[in-house]
Amino acid sequence: MGQILRYRIIFIEEQVPKVKIFRMEPVAGAIPIYKAGQFAFVHILDGKGSSLEKRPYSIASPPSSPYLEFCIKNTGGKMTSMLDKLIIGSVVGIDLPYGNFAYEGQRRAALIGGGSGIAPLVGILRDIAARRIDGSFVLFYSAKRRDSIIYNKELERLSKTHPQIKAVVTLTQETPKDWIGECGRINESMIKKHLDGLSDFDWWVCGPLPLVKGMKECLVASGVDPKRMKVEGWG
């Protein structure tokens, strides 16, 4: 564990039910250098600044951002329940960076995520956009319903303002009449519908373990080299 630095919450938004976006800036000093896709440990502090509770959360902001952003789902557990009660101005502890789920400038990148697994992936897309990296970038994102699409407006904006970025969103528990995206779970046929040459891309997969396991098997069966995959799952 590295040094725990104090960060002040400057923004909170409940984008979809039970999922909040937190933005935090250092109380003093600068944000340590990190790579898009990595994670940090967020600490709940006591009155003396010691850690009471901590959990790892993916960073959703790009490294060029003046603040750290986290997308956190309230699962009802001890840590997320404590975070859910915080307000703008609250101070937490942050320790970063960690993880090998990092984007390092690859020019053909495909991302797969489910639920709050969108967090590091949107951080990667924001980094690509901020650095104006030329290439081909595709995100496949699975949400249960339209009202549970995290970063919906952000994905639309990135797709419109950066022609090299394509966001494919699929719904697994409803089929709205006016929905123009995909429906059903992400599978090989859906991926090949929107992406040519799967083995020519580097892959990042993040979400619940069943999704991660299924997507890894699907990609390997489609000829993707496991060495070109980075996976991060939970549950």
Contacts of 104 (CB under 8 A, 6+ apart): 35
The confidence score (pLDDT) of residue 1 equals: 60
The confidence score (pLDDT) of residue 200 equals: 96
Task: Report the SS3 class of residue 128.
Answer: helix
Helical ranges in the chain per DSSP H: 78-84, 118-131, 152-161, 188-194, 209-221
Let me know: does 214 contact 235? Beta carbons within 8 Å. no
Q: Is the fold of 5-98 the same as that of 108-234?
A: no
The confidence score (pLDDT) of residue 47 equals: 86
Evaluate the omega torsion of the peptide bond into residue 66 and state whether it is cis, within 30 degrees of 0: no
The confidence score (pLDDT) of residue 48 equals: 86
Would you give per-residue pLDDT tens digits along the chain (235 residues)? 678 999 999 999 999 999 999 999 999 999 999 999 999 999 999 988 889 999 999 999 999 999 999 999 999 999 999 999 999 999 999 999 999 999 999 999 999 999 999 999 999 999 999 999 999 999 999 999 999 999 999 999 999 999 999 999 999 999 998 999 999 999 999 999 999 899 999 999 999 999 999 999 999 999 999 999 999 998 7
* Superfamily classification of domain 5-98: Translation factors (2.40.30.10)
Which amino acid is it at 26? P
The confidence score (pLDDT) of residue 59 equals: 98
Give the separation between CA 50 and CA 23, rounded to whole angstroms.
Answer: 21
Task: Domain ranges for the chain, please list them.
Answer: 5-98, 108-234
Q: Which residue has the tokens 């990190």?
A: 34
Closest CA to 109 of 197, 18, 37, 201: 201
The confidence score (pLDDT) of residue 45 equals: 94
The topology (CATH level 3) of 108-234 is: Rossmann fold (3.40.50)
Task: Please count the other Cβ atoms lying within 10 Å of the Cβ belonging to residue 68.
Answer: 23
Task: Please count the other Cβ atoms lying within 10 Å of the Cβ belonging to residue 203.
Answer: 22
